[in-house]
Structure 1
Amino acid sequence: MLTVRPVRTADLPAIERLAFDSGIGVTSLPADRDRLFERIQRSNSSFEHEATAGAGYEYYAFVLVDDGQVVGTAAVAAAAGFDEPFYSYRNEIFVHASRTLRVHNRVHVLNLCHDLTGMVQLCGFYVDPAYRQLGAELLSRARLMFIAGQRLRFGKRIIAEMQGLHDEQGQSPFWNAIGRIFFDMDFPQVEQAFVTHSKSFIAELMPNYPIYVPLLPDEAQDAISQVHPDSERTCQILTREGFETDEYIDIFDGGAVLTADIDRLYTLQHSRLYRVEVVDSLPALAKTRLVGNERCAGYVAVLAASQLADNGVQIEAETAETLGVAAGAWIRVTELQLG
């Protein structure tokens, strides 16, 4: 049975392997053992922390488990850029006009900003390629199920950075056209710097004035708001949830930044709480759904057969045991969105 639960310290070797396999471009999942350990410890502390109104330092990391093996990981940061500004480029239109020459031009520009600082952030997502269908949906949406059950811990708006375009050698056309000029570093080098150093170097080295998009090479322009093929499945899941491509892009590779109102997401709107009824077997027409308990540190979500009834939801004993619930307990249930 595919299961999602909070990360544990013992998962470090598996998380390190997933971080290495994720390759270039997933800066929120660094292939750095010390940083990964710090994030696991921070996550453990966050799950144990008592819920309070207002988001802060909390960081919740989850793992996707199949038969005891960790095959995916994902996280939720309660506030993007809690300790330092969260930088992005904002797409804007400048108007250049001359009444004398009868010229009126609308020009696409990029402005460095930290508008998204403080928003809830989905991050650190990577799934073993063998699990990019059911496993990816379970892992991605289980985070939102957790948010639904722990609503006090999170704010109103949520973001997710999509991995932008780069080739197998790690060359990013967007980075080469802008960032490399100011950093004199290749994309993989700056990604490592982003992981191991303070993010203040962004403000120190990146230009604060507008970047005129028409002046960029065509390849760099074409990369703006694009999503790397490896992240297309993740992007599809989030889009079906209600995330939209907003006016923001990643400052490194130009990848799309998705945004949404948390309470308008599909999982938040359509998941429901039901009383558990444990049964020996379910009817043949029972549907596979995403179900999760309502705990924090002991949170568990699974894909399991269930049967909705007037007085609750019927699940089998194995599912109840995995969720750690007994008859009469409340669990959250929502439909799959496979497509």
Structure 2
Amino acid sequence: MTMRVRPARAEDFPAIYKMAKLTGGGFTNLPPDKATLVEKLARSAASFEREDDEQSGDLYVFVLEDAKTKAIRGTCQVFGQVGVTQPFYSYHLSTLTQSSPELGKTFRNETLTLTTDLEGSSEVGGLFLHPESRAGGLGALLARSRYLFMKLHRQRFGDRTLAELRGVMDEAGNAPFWDALAGKFFGMTFPDADEFNAVHGTKFIADLMPRTPIYVALLPDSAKAVMGQPHPSGRAAMKMLEAEGFAFDRYIDIFDGGPTVTCPTDQIRTIRQSDVHSVAEIGEGGKQKVLIATGRLNSFRACCATIGKVPKKGLCIDRQTADLLEVEVGDKVVAVSRNGST
């Protein structure tokens, strides 16, 4: 396999733009808008070039590259800290219990409260794998490479990491949750609002959204049915996140009602189970299947590999893996089993 994950560059824009047009809408972090994507790549370049290691509002964009053909087959993103330049809004689904002694009844009503509880968290998102490359474990490589990058640059990320999943919408891009709630206050369709958010940010939410809790019972069944549910195309991503330790804590997206899942950063499975090793030999490799990464910031590389272990010295990797990672004997790498710890 000649596929690897590396930091995105300005010259990757055409490939990333083509993938953005394939998402079908609702991917706020990967909008099919040229100016926004150019700005994202510029912001990412500045984040990779920043020298100090404090947590900040960085954006790191990565691509999945065929090192042999130079074709770009996927992309993903990591945000160092959400809520730095604009508030990070979510709805929190809570339960309000009310009793009436006169009626002899107790009612438990669910409410949606606009909140910025998740500010300060890091975020993984923007993951898209080209439809022609959705096989052979490439999705797992792309997704888990983000956690290996976080492991190698731990001080740049917060104590909690979140992921937002796209909510349910129809083939035309209309979202039942938006139509039932936020759409009443903005006078625009969900596709229009989602595009505006992707380009301009969420300040308009604070300007126009009601601050009082919303009683879920007042929403139509079409909206209640999709709250906290991922888009059918995102169910595989949800399973991968859950396998990493992410859990739904009753936070949902204010636009489409999709679930926001969270996990303590140090408890993310790939971060927790990965270990740092030295490259002891470059030869025939071995039989243990791993995800392996190396490099600081712009020199970060990640790929799939089969490794062996040299007692008390480190890992044995094959020449192809060494070339993909751009490492030599004595260099440090971080590795994790494709199924568990190394």
The alignment's TM-score, normalised by the length of structure 1, stands at 0.96
1:36 maps to which residue? Answer: 37
Mapping of residues 148-297 of structure 1, within 5 Å: 148-283=151-286, 286-297=287-298
Shift of 1:198: 4.2
Shift of 1:203: 1.1
In 2: Cα distance, 1:178 partner to 1:276 partner: 55
Moved more, 114-123 or 86-95: 114-123
Shift of 1:294: 3.4
Shift of 1:78: 0.7
Shift of 1:71: 0.9
Deviations 1:215-268 (A, max 9, x none): 211111010000112111211111100000112000011000010000011111
Which amino acid in the other structure matches residue 74 of structure 1? C
Moved more, 12-21 or 306-315: 306-315
Shift of 1:301: 0.1
Provide the secondary structure at the position in 2 that maps to 1:223: coil
Deviations 1:194-224 (A, max 9, x none): 1232421101111211111122111110100
In 2: Cα distance, 1:309 partner to 1:235 partner: 37
In 2: Cα distance, 1:16 partner to 1:319 partner: 29
In structure 2, the CA distance between the partners of 1:196 and 1:282, relative to structure 1 (3 Å rule), is closer
2:304 maps to which residue? Answer: 303
Q: 8 Å contact 1:278–1:317 — kept in the other structure? A: no
2:128 maps to which residue? Answer: 126
Q: 8 Å contact 1:73–1:139 — kept in the other structure? A: yes
Shift of 1:277: 2.8
In 2: Cα distance, 1:266 partner to 1:109 partner: 32
2:57 maps to which residue? Answer: 57
1:110 maps to which residue? Answer: 112
Shift of 1:145: 0.2
Which amino acid in the other structure matches residue 187 of structure 1? F
Deviations 1:106-165 (A, max 9, x none): 111100111112210112111112333411110110000000011111110010000100
Provide the secondary structure at the position in 2 that maps to 1:322: helix
Moved more, 307-316 or 273-282: 273-282
Provide the secondary structure at the position in 1 that maps to 2:300: coil
In 1: Cα distance, 2:44 partner to 2:141 partner: 20
The alignment's TM-score, normalised by the length of structure 2, stands at 0.95
1:79 maps to which residue? Answer: 81
In 2: Cα distance, 1:27 partner to 1:61 partner: 14
Deviations 1:253-290 (A, max 9, x none): 1000010000011111110111113333245xx13210
1:98 maps to which residue? Answer: 100
- Over aligned residues, Cα RMSD in angstroms? 1.4
Provide the secondary structure at the position in 2 that maps to 1:297: helix
In 2: Cα distance, 1:316 partner to 1:84 partner: 46
Shift of 1:330: 1.0
Which amino acid in the other structure matches residue 9 of structure 1? A
In 2: Cα distance, 1:11 partner to 1:300 partner: 16
Which amino acid in the other structure matches residue 75 of structure 2? T
In 2: Cα distance, 1:335 partner to 1:145 partner: 12
In 2: Cα distance, 1:69 partner to 1:144 partner: 23
Shift of 1:17: 0.7
Work out the number of aligned pairs and report it.
335
Provide the secondary structure at the position in 2 that maps to 1:145: helix
In 2: Cα distance, 1:148 partner to 1:251 partner: 30
Q: 8 Å contact 1:278–1:320 — kept in the other structure? A: no
Which amino acid in the other structure matches residue 269 of structure 2? Y
In 2: Cα distance, 1:198 partner to 1:257 partner: 18
In 1: Cα distance, 2:151 partner to 2:283 partner: 29
